[in-house]
Amino acid sequence: MAQLTITDTECYEEQLQSDAQFLCSNQRMDTELVDSLVLQLNRIYPQILSDKEACKFRSLRVPTTERLRELLQYLHEKGDDACYEFYRALHIQAEDVYFSLPTRIRQREMTDSRSANNVAVIPERYVLNDRGPIFFLSCFSVAVGIAFLYYYGEGQRLRCTEAFLHCSAVRLGKDAKDVFVSYVEVGK
């Protein structure tokens, strides 16, 4: 879940004031969503939204857009903490609406522009292989070819494979190297 952050210049009251028109005109802010936001604010933070106020904002006699407008105005008057909790409730109840808010889009763009300016150059040592899959497949097929020639050579061992196998035994432990080299010499 993304962490709610406040921009350098705006507090949550100002953000809510900026987002109010978008929220009131958004079709996704339907009756059910507004009711769930009111209930969450009422149940979790009764100091922000009392039972009486929650009933007022949940009244079905008033159109949803008007109830939402009144709720946003009420939260704006309550202060920054109430606005923050509204944003938090909106983030929990409807992430798609939350991330499409104008202030969130602006905040993402500012973060993207800051990160574009502070892009660190990745050193070359972190690139494992820039040659691509064809290079890997060709190296792998050469290794498989040598293995097939060695194991299925019908009595004729290639001298180049024996030298290759002797060299590759250098990196093995003492016991494994003895077994490996003796296996190569028995196959001669």
For the chain, how many residues are written?
188
Distance from C-alpha of 121 to C-alpha of 75, rounded to nearest angstrom: 45
Distance from C-alpha of 129 to C-alpha of 135, rounded to nearest angstrom: 9
Q: Kindly state whether residue 136 falls inside one of the protein's structural domains.
A: no
5 has a pLDDT exceeding 70: no
Q: Identify the CATH number of the domain in which residue 77 sits.
A: 1.10.533.10
Q: Kindly state whether residue 178 falls inside one of the protein's structural domains.
A: no
Q: What is the DSSP letter of 124?
A: G
Q: Kindly state whether residue 54 falls inside one of the protein's structural domains.
A: yes
Place of tokens 């432990």: 173
Distance from C-alpha of 58 to C-alpha of 64, rounded to nearest angstrom: 9
In this structure, of 4-8, 63-67, 78-82, 182-186, the range with the lowest mean pLDDT score is 4-8
**Alpha-carbon dihedral 135, 139, 145, 148, rounded to 10 degrees:** -130
Q: Kindly state whether residue 65 falls inside one of the protein's structural domains.
A: yes
Q: Kindly state whether residue 60 falls inside one of the protein's structural domains.
A: yes
Confidence of residue 9 (pLDDT cuts 50, 70, 90): very low
User: Taking phi first (over 0 means left), then psi (-120 to 50 degrees means alpha), and beta for anything else, what does residue 79 get?
Assistant: left
Confidence of residue 86 (pLDDT cuts 50, 70, 90): very high
pLDDT reported for residue 29:
87
Average pLDDT over residues 153-181: 54
153 has a pLDDT exceeding 80: no
pLDDT reported for residue 149:
74
Tokens representing 40 are 């969450």
CA distances from 178 to 14, 158, 163 (A): 77, 21, 15
pLDDT reported for residue 147:
80
SS3 assignment, position 104: helix
Domains of the chain: total: 1
164 has a pLDDT exceeding 80: no
7 has a pLDDT exceeding 50: no
Q: Kindly state whether residue 182 falls inside one of the protein's structural domains.
A: no
pLDDT per position as a tens digit, 92-129: 998 999 998 989 888 888 877 766 565 555 555 555 56
Output the average pLDDT for the chain.
76
Looking at per-residue confidence, does 21 or 172 come out higher?
21
Contact 103, 19 (CB under 8 A): yes
2 has a pLDDT exceeding 90: no
Q: Kindly state whether residue 134 falls inside one of the protein's structural domains.
A: no
166 has a pLDDT exceeding 70: no
Q: Which domain holds residue 56?
A: 12-100
Contact 38, 104 (CB under 8 A): no
Rg (CA), the chain: 34
State the number of CA atoms in the 13 A half-sphere of 5 facing the CB.
Answer: 13
Q: Kindly state whether residue 23 falls inside one of the protein's structural domains.
A: yes
